[in-house]
Amino acid sequence: MNILVTGGLGYIGSHLVSKLIDKKFSIFIIDNLNNSKRSTYKILKKINPNIKGFKKIDLKNKKKLLNYFKKKKIDIVIHMAGLKSVSESYSNVKKYYNNNILGFVNLIETMQKSKIQKLIFSSSASVYAPKISSAIKEDDQLQINSIYGFTKKTIEDIIFLKSKSLRLNYIILRYFNPAGCHQNGLLGENPKGTPNNLYPYIGDIIKKRRKYLKVYGNDYKTKDGTGARDYIHIDDLVDTHLKSLQRLFKYKNIQEVFNVGCGKSITVKAVINSFKKFCNFKIKFKYYPRRYGDLDKIYTNNNKAKKILQWRPEKNLKDIALSTFKYYNK
């Protein structure tokens, strides 16, 4: 089974590739190295012998993409490539449209020409309308809250529209907040520039690149006043892809959407305290005014994934803190 992972050297992509260890898998990776490093490939090759090659390809380059597919017999595409900063998406609208949407259009058209009919897409909880009081379900209202969210929702719509004409079997996974690092301490989230997410920012503090954490707001309607999000360990998130692969190859006419999260809201303060409790590492922080659009809490109802994919999260806040601390200490 030949599996192509786009964005396979990124944070989530690299962790997935490291776990595709079934002997029947042959793994191919393409990545434009926009927010990843070529050195990650060397690490992955040591971890997983199923990896057959890496090629630097930008999905905006359709000609190069077509040539690559002609040389490979791909059975399924796991599409993880894409820009992912909500704040940056506002200041670089064209960049996000071209990279995320145009890149995917090129990919799906190349899949069509190559007669590839199986797809797993990494989407985001950013496609949902804000809900304050309850867990988000897959059939809840969708609403565009950012340019980044718009690109994810647009790609989903393209998949829905193309599924009939392409006879496309797909699973869309809407991530909440992936966190944590590989158990070997060699793979983690290490973005270029200023981190946009909580855990890699804490990573900079562990590495002594920054002195303190900026906490935006302490007046949210949560137990400690700080914003709460659904943080899921990267290993649990990767496991949903393994379950999705099994489902796509076992059944026909699969066209499904799943939320991927731990199913609980975890505050920023709880994250900070977890490092002190489990790693004996005190994180200094300062409160800043709330940012426009930030919600009190966002978390998922993950019952659908539990029922249909036969999946459930196995790791917790302790595992996230310990694996994060181990990675950034290295």
Q: 68, 128, 148, 220: which is the annotated catalytic residue? A: 148
Length of the chain: 330
How many Å separate Cα 258 from the centre of its chain? 13
User: How far is it, in rounded angstroms, from Cα 104 to Cα 136?
Assistant: 26
93 membership: H or E segment, kind and range? helix 93-96
Residue whose C-alpha is closest to residue 326's, from 214, 203, 192 = 203
Where residue 9 falls (left for φ over 0; alpha for ψ -120 to 50; beta otherwise) is alpha
**Structural Rg of the chain based on CA atoms:** 19
User: How far is it, in rounded angstroms, from Cα 182 to Cα 73?
Assistant: 30
User: How far is it, in rounded angstroms, from Cα 145 to Cα 86?
Assistant: 9
Give the residue ranges of DSSP H helices in the chain.
Answer: 11-19, 39-47, 62-71, 86-91, 93-96, 103-113, 147-166, 198-206, 234-250, 268-279, 303-308, 317-329
For residue 306, the tally of other CB atoms under 10 A from its CB is 14
Q: Quick check: is 148 catalytic?
A: yes
Catalytic residues: 148
